[in-house]
Chains A and B, each alone.
Chain A
Amino acid sequence: MEARKGSRDMTVSTIGGATLTEELEARGITRRAFLAFCTSLTATLALPSVFSERIAHALENSEKPTIIWLEFQDCAGNTESFLRAHNPGVADLILDVISVDYHEVIMAAAGHQAEAAKEEAIARGGHIVIVEGSVPTAGGGVYCTIAGKTALQHLEEAAVGAAAIINVGTCSSFGGIPAASPNPTGARGVPAVISGVPILNLPGCPMNVDNLVGTIAHFVTFGALPATDSEGRPLFAYGQRIHDNCERRARFDAGQFALEWGDEGHRKGWCLYKLGCKGPSTFHNCPTQRWNMGTSWPIGAGHGCVGCSEPDFWDTMTPFYARLPKPPGFNVTTTAEQIGLGIVGATAVGFGVHGVAKVIQHSREKTEASEQSDPAEDAGEESED
């Protein structure tokens, strides 16, 4: 609980002090069910199973972390994703695990009472700020005001005494769709406009709630945010390429591609690369974590990945149905890895992904033109024989 210590003195005296264990007991939730939940969290966090006990211990003995959820230039899609939480469900989360002291979509209070609830929570300190939506910086911030104040003013106020800021979705992480060219409102991601507080990004359009629950559990258990990549994304959720964990990877390697919507390959679950899938350039745990209680995920339901967890994907991954370009040395087994490595490498040495993908975009016409010599294409044809 290192990160929250600074504000603890203030916090403890004003909070009722009920722990999760007490509340679970009051509700008749068995310890066995609780431990099962901790085990699943451990899996989400990609931790060895021995950590399950540590998570259980931390959750049981910690006070509920205070959450202040701010919405700026957003669509509430991350809020809706939050409402799809399972294991635990959102009712369990808001009643038992976290204290959501401000969230415009679900809170009972409105107007100045809502703002008062937020100010009380900020004054206690040690809170987690969750941000959904980008921050408009053009025109003095007039493109998003709440209670007469700009998004940036709200963000700066909420950051005071905060233990961490978690950005949910691509908009608050990187600017997202409002920041897509020509970015009419000067929209920026949160990390671009504020510093001095630990910040973590959970991009995705929307973020997967499993990763938010995992991050909060990690914070409560280990007292700090999980380790991140160069884009501020936790490695447990964004450390691996979609392509590497894709259930259709074997199809790619075998050169079996869907070529048209509804063709035999599409119906049989072949690789969607040639219909525009951006899985080879995208880091996210969609294939393993899946969505909506593990029901499915975009590629599983027949549509390619669009790269929604990558910065500037609105400009770099579009047109969505154009296939990723062929970098030098393209061949069936190494292409995707090279594309991914190219992006990682570029980021590591300080080039933006945006720049790389711009180059990619420009080379796209060439790629389409040289399709005949595309080894993946050849492989695809072979497989159809």
Chain B
Amino acid sequence: MPRIAVDPVTRIEGHLRVEAEVDGGVVTDAWSSCTMWRGIETILKGRDPRDAWYFTQRICGVCTTVHALASVRAVENALGIVPPLNAQLLRNLIALSQYVQDHVVHFYHLHALDWVDITSALEADPEATAALASSISDYPRSSPSHFEAVKQRLTSFVEAGRLGPFAQGYWGHPAYALPPEANLMAVSHYLDALDFQRDYMRIHAILGGKNPHLQTYLVGGMAVPIDPNSQNAINATTLLQLRKLLESGLRFVTQAYIPDVLAVAPFYTDWAAIGAGLGNYMSFGDFPTGAQNPSMDRDALYLPSGVIVGNDLSQVHRLDATKITEYVAHSWYSYEGGDGSPLAPFDGETTPDYTGPEPPYEFLDTDGKYSWLKSPRYDDMPMEVGPLARMLVAYGSGHERVQQLVNSVLETLGVGPEALFSTLGRTAARAIESQVLAERSLEVLDQLTANISGGDITIHNGDLWDPESWPQTASGFGMHEAPRGSLSHWVTIADGAIDHYQIVVPSTWNAGPRDGNGARGAYESALLNTPIADPERPLEILRTVHSFDPCMACAAHILDKDGKPIVEVTVT
């Protein structure tokens, strides 16, 4: 089988490598590999559990809030700490704004160039672009003179001869289908989104001192004080600033993100039948409506939890966290009791055991171990997690706003629900979710404001802050439905220190290698049958892999029928 490789896969977070066999112009098999390991679970052993959020936050600077939140929830779950309502609402606000920023950056800066040919924008007519933009949205920066200026800027950039980050793109690839005007509009919004996300993330600076890696989580609550009568705490002015910023997020999603997806999608309807993948979807659900720890109580969450098997939306199964296990059959780790069987996270082991080729290498031995990711399974089944999984679980669970928006998007595009199970569906689900959650963020702010008005300024439950007050041993898990999917941290505390820590990450669910049964992970499965017009420039692989919004850096190889490389992708 011919094999192609893309190495590195760019416009993602981290180090991901994909090798794929291509035959007859389609992908016939694929392997996903993460090529970096730091050992953070090992580093955590023996440390103060109250510090764990700060350590685990460094797993990812893109989704900078998610591990911090899962970690404090895990320790709170272990010790039986319930944070006060204000802290819960602040955590929701931070997470919701993270979603909006993260999804916008993904669409415009990580994913858009898979669909948008920047060079074609140079041919666009600014008048026609303005007409197009005004026909789909009331986004303000849509005048002919604005698009003329963007085109001028782009032209002078290209004519200067230094393409910088845009050099060597797949420009002119036959799979690009947008007319020049749509491309120019997209470039304009690409630039606007850079400014937007920067300004919007001031929310995190206000609530957490800085972004990325905001510094405000505490086991038992949050560190940002609330006091309407102090200038050093969340007060009326802060709440007003937050409202303005949250509104700007909702506006950008409503006026730019959603209309742009709806404008681009009709040119790529073939991608509503490509990239389906596993058909199994899981969501932990999130955004507690009260003060409960979502690891203990998953019923009162704004986005519901659940599991869908075999694309059957009529049945959303109840989530059972004890059904989560991890394989290392094809991962560079070894289990003491043998690599054939999976382990539950509380019993999980992280012992590195690299058996791959010595660098520099051209190809991985995909029959053996080939990734630094484990293979998480739910009830021994691989699961897709992320925006599509969440929207499907919410849709199937009867979430009113999600149903409304999903139906409206399907109707606008003139496609049925089956179109959701695809690369395009994944990208649309992320936009729909941004709208739902940007709206929700303002409701949460209302809730916070009302609670403060009622006289509640508590931000921390300090009853069990002192390790002296803890039991000798305790175990717990923290679940968070992160932008990229279902995240869980599993901690065991002994004598006031971390004895055992395991983390099961969304991109591990999606990007993990084959398991002990030989079952493919979500990326590997979704890449099957992807058309490849030009193996030298595998744009189509990027489209499907990017539709998951990977959070690690990898590389993909494409091999030929006899196992010989038809494209040399690695540099030797």
Contact = CB atoms under 8 A, between A and B. Distances in A.
Q: Do A and B come from one complex?
A: yes
Contact of A293 (B35, B51, B198, B226): B198
Interface string A287-328: 000011101111111110010000000100011110000000
Contacts of A180: 43, 55
In the complex, which range does the number of interface residues on chain A fall in? 35 or more
In the complex, which range does the number of interface residues on chain B fall in? 35 or more
Interface stretch (B155-163, B271-279, B381-389, B515-523): B155-163
Contact of A146 (B161, B358, B462, B555): B555
B483 interface: no
Given A108-B165, A143-B36, A148-B570, A75 B58 contact: yes
Interface in A125-155: 139-150, 153
Nearest to A170: B58
Given A18-B160, A89-B194, A111-B569, A301 B206 contact: yes
Contacts of B571: 112, 115, 119, 147-149
A177 B5 contact: no
B12 A205 contact: no
A154 B162 CA distance: 23
Contacts of B220: 261
B38 A177 contact: yes
A224 B168 CA distance: 31
Contacts of A26: 152-153, 156
Contact of A100 (B149, B165, B225, B356): B165
A83 B164 contact: no
Interface in A74-116: 74-81, 83-86, 89-91, 94-95, 98-101, 103-116
B8 A104 contact: yes
A113 B535 CA distance: 13
Given A77-B64, A143-B37, A261 B460 contact: yes
Contact of B230 (A146, A177, A267): A267
Contacts of B165: 94, 100-101, 103, 106-108
B205 interface: yes
A182 interface: yes
A291 B118 CA distance: 32
Interface string B545-562: 000000001011000000
Nearest to A116: B168
A45 B243 CA distance: 34
Contact of B225 (A111, A120, A144, A302): A302
A147 B211 CA distance: 30
Contact of A111 (B48, B191, B556): B556
Contacts of A178: 38-40, 43
A184 interface: yes
Contacts of B35: 144-146
Nearest to B357: A148
Given A77-B61, A301-B223, A292 B205 contact: yes
B553 A71 contact: yes
B166 interface: yes
Interface stretch (B248-256, B359-367, B392-400, B427-435): B359-367
Contacts of B462: 260-262
Nearest to A81: B212
A291 B216 CA distance: 14
B23 interface: no
The CB with the most chain A CB atoms within 10 A, among B164, B356, B360, is that of: B164
B42 interface: yes
A319 B35 CA distance: 31
Nearest to A208: B210
A95 B157 contact: yes
A339 interface: no
Interface in A10-39: 15-18, 22-23, 26-28
Given A112-B567, A292-B201, A206 B213 contact: yes
Contacts of B194: 83, 89-91
Interface string A46-88: 0000000000000000001000000111111111110111100
A216 interface: no
B51 A153 contact: no
A107 B537 CA distance: 15
B70 to A, nearest CB: 15
Contacts of B153: 26-27, 95
Given A18-B160, A261-B220, A296-B209, 20 more contacts: A18-B162, A28-B149, A104-B12, A108-B118, A114-B10, A143-B37, A143-B38, A145-B359, A146-B553, A147-B7, A153-B359, A177-B55, A187-B38, A262-B458, A267-B232, A292-B211, A293-B202, A301-B208, A301-B223, A302-B232
State the 10 A-B residue pairs at the shortest beta-carbon distance, nearest first: A77-B61, A269-B232, A16-B161, A108-B169, A184-B39, A298-B209, A18-B160, A291-B210, A111-B6, A292-B205
Interface of B: 5-15, 35-40, 42-43, 47-48, 50-51, 54-55, 58-62, 64, 105, 109-110, 113, 118, 149, 152-153, 156-157, 159-162, 164-171, 191, 194-195, 197-199, 201-202, 204-216, 218, 220-221, 223-227, 230-233, 352, 354, 356-362, 372, 457-460, 462, 465, 537-538, 542, 553, 555-556, 567-572
29 contacts: A71-B15, A72-B36, A74-B14, A75-B60, A75-B61, A76-B61, A77-B62, A81-B61, A83-B109, A91-B194, A103-B165, A104-B8, A109-B10, A111-B556, A114-B168, A117-B167, A146-B15, A146-B555, A148-B361, A148-B570, A149-B571, A177-B38, A182-B42, A185-B39, A298-B208, A301-B214, A301-B223, A303-B216, A320-B48
Interface of A: 15-18, 22-23, 26-28, 64, 71-81, 83-86, 89-91, 94-95, 98-101, 103-117, 119-120, 139-150, 153, 176-178, 180-185, 187, 205-206, 260-262, 266-269, 291-293, 295-303, 306, 314, 318-321
